[in-house]
Amino acid sequence: MESSVDAPPVDGEEGTSVGAGTAGVRLEGVTKRFGTFEAVKDMDLEIADGEFFTMLGPSGCGKTTTLRMIAGFEQPTEGKVLIDGDNVAGQPAYKRPTNTVFQSYALFPHMNLEENVGFGLKRKKVGKAEIKKRVADELERVGLSRDAKRKPAQLSGGQQQRVALARALVNLPKVLLLDEPLGALDLKLRKGLQVQLKTIQRDVGITFVYVTHDQEEALTMSDRIAVMNAGRIEQCAGPEDVYERPETTFVAGFIGVSNLLPAVATGPNEVKLDSGETIPTGDASRFSSGDRCYAVVRPEKLTATTSGVAPSDRPSIDGVVETSLYLGNSTQMTVDVGNDVKMKVLIPNASEAERQDLPGGGSRVKLSWTAENMHLVRESPEEAAGADPIDPTDNNTEGVTK
């Protein structure tokens, strides 16, 4: 997971005024208020040198505001922002060793690609010959050498995005900030650019701080993900941890689809569901006996069998199939298990014969799983970020996920 931490800067441009290496970022007790609205609440965060770090969350969760505070477009109301150990809070953006890739690209329409990409180096008073070379190299990297003399308006969205990336990377910033850089592109293009971005990050070894509301994108690209909700970080961990071992109901619900069963912890590996059954779980040592919690199991970890024939060594729960949706590569079942709880079950389309045998609507089924695939999560302090006032700076276009 931490594969790129030690990667040295690849462009052998030593001894220039920019790009003297990469650096980590630390936020200490950072709060940002817009009037009475608290966009970011007392946040502590440590991003390692060379890490691909993602802030993931719904619109208005404060992720873009946090990014803008690292960039210097916003100043924190309280707290410190440290880049490479220096507190930069209060410093304007142009004095910080960061560069940003904007969601809208923000390419200068009156300049051609070469001028756009060379803008930062020119301000840094880098020599003309060197600017020319580095700009050419960077345009080469993103595959737009032939378009150097064209204006941004003559390019497609995906090409503009690559120019925006080149314009930031050419300065070899200590930290590269990316604000939903793929948000405005269509799915296919996005997938391709995800891979490209990740490859480039490995090559240059620069710390990437990436903001997105697309959970799949976050899981694919990141070394670590901070899942944010209502101005707070709900969980900060690697993609596998966030997906397999969510800590809160919000994380469990925002990343992938989760089945949440209200319960009370009864032991280090045991939980009593509100419906009465006491069942074994994965590690529940974070909870003390008697704590309210939710038992979480992912839809693909469930097996549905016709009543009565569940393997006896597996925990299980009885229910009635409500709907069964054919999704092509899988079938999604909704199973009513009583107490107003509906569970989603995802059954891979392994063979057509098997699929034909699946229990249909109205059938009684037994859902079973292995004990270590069930986790306990606590209830998020503030559920449903969508009900919060919208962060004024968070202009993310929602509804483009997947």
Residues within the interface to other proteins (CB under 8 A):
71-73, 92-95, 98-100, 102, 104-110, 119-120, 123-124, 152-157, 160, 167-168, 171
Residue 118 half-sphere exposure toward CB, CA atoms < 13 A: 21
Of 22 and 215, nearer to other proteins (C-beta) is 22
Output the smallest distance, CB 139 to other proteins, in A: 16
From residue 284, give the alpha-carbon distance in Å to each of 89, 250, 264, 289, 370: 39, 18, 11, 10, 15
Please, which residue, 163 or 337, has the CB nearer to other proteins? 163
Query: Quick one: 170 or 365, whose CB is closer to other proteins?
Result: 170
Q: For the CB of residue 68, give the shortest distance to other proteins in the complex, in Å.
A: 9
Helix/strand/coil (H/E/C) assignment for every residue in 19-48: CCCCCCEEEEEEEEEECCEEEEEEEEEEEC
Our CB check for other proteins shows the closer of 13 and 291 to be 13
Check residue 355 and give left, alpha or beta (phi > 0: left; psi -120 to 50: alpha). Answer: alpha
| Shortest Å distance, C-beta 172 to other proteins | 12
Closest C-alpha among 341, 358, 356, 344 to residue 306: 358
In the complex with other proteins, which residue's Cβ is closer, 164 or 200? 164
Q: Helices (DSSP H) in 332-388: which residue ranges?
A: 352-356
* Shortest separation between residue 274's beta carbon and other proteins, angstroms: 49
d(CA 51, CA 227): 16
Torsion angle of C-alpha atoms 299, 304, 309, 310, degrees rounded to 10: 0
Cβ closest to other proteins, residue 91 vs residue 305: 91
State the alpha helices, DSSP H only, in 102-224.
113-123, 128-141, 157-169, 187-204, 215-221
Q: Smallest gap, in angstroms, from Cβ of residue 99 to other proteins?
A: 6
Q: How far apart are alpha carbons 143 and 386 in whole angstroms?
A: 39
Q: How far is the CB of 79 from other proteins (least distance, A)?
A: 21
Measured from the CB atom, the residue of 67 and 293 that comes closer to other proteins is 67
Phi-psi region of 132 (alpha: psi -120 to 50; beta: other; left: phi over 0): alpha
Minimum CB separation of residue 140 from other proteins in Å reads 20
Looking at the Cβ atoms of 93 and 371, the one nearer to other proteins is 93
Rank residues 99 and 249 by Cβ distance to other proteins and give the closer one: 99
Max CA distance (Å), the chain: 78
Which of 206, 235, 240, 204 is closest to 222 using CA atoms? 240
Minimum distance from residue 103 beta carbon to other proteins (Å): 9
270 forms bridges with which residues in the sheet? Answer: 267, 280
Q: Is the dihedral of CA 162, 166, 172, 174 positive or negative?
A: negative
Question: Least distance in Å: CB of 207 to other proteins?
Answer: 16
**Six token digits for residue 152:** 């941004």
Q: Are 152 and 85 in contact (CB under 8 A)?
A: no
